[in-house]
């Protein structure tokens, strides 16, 4: 099976920032995800960050680390974080015991 190139897209809608990822989030692409999350929470009026992994095919420990880092950075700025995730990335987060800590619902679907 061919590796899916990682793509990240950011969007700002009023006080809500969104980071949408597709492909494979691993050590090679983690820094792109980090930069997208960091830039998304820099605005003084941002109150919510949505991270959409619904089109992410694969995530490893590098992706988990950056997700936890982004969540913590947002929380220090009182920014509410929502994570939408399915498939293999959801299983990885469940195994790591992070779904509850990050407020991720296995039933969550991107809106």
- 54-108 per-position pLDDT tens digit: 999 999 999 999 999 999 999 999 999 999 999 999 999 999 999 988 878 665 4
Please tell me the predicted confidence (pLDDT) of residue 111. 43
> Is the pTM value of this prediction over 0.95?
no
For residue 2, what pLDDT is reported?
54
CA distance linking residue 25 with residue 62, whole number of Å: 8
DSSP string, 42-57: -STT--EEEEEEEEEE
Tens of pLDDT, residue by residue over 2-50, are 568 999 999 999 999 999 999 999 999 999 999 999 999 998 899 999 9
**Residue whose tokens read 């790591």:** 96
CATH 3.30.750.24 holds for 7-95: yes
- pLDDT classification of 109: cutoffs 50, 70, 90: very low
Alpha helix locations (H) across 1-86?
A: 30-40, 61-76
């Amino acid at each position: 099976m061919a590796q899916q190139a990682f793509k990240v897209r950011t969007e700002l809608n009023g006080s809500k920032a969104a980071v949408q990822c597709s492909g494979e989030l691993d050590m090679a692409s983690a820094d792109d995800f980090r930069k997208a999350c960091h830039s998304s929470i820099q605005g003084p009026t941002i109150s919510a960050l949505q991270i959409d992994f619904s089109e992410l095919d694969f995530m490893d420990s590098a992706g988990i680390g950056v997700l936890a880092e982004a969540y913590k950075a947002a929380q220090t700025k009182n920014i509410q974080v929502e994570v939408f995730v399915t498939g293999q990335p959801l299983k990885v987060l469940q195994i790591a015991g992070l779904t509850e800590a990050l407020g991720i619902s296995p039933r969550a679907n991107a809106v």
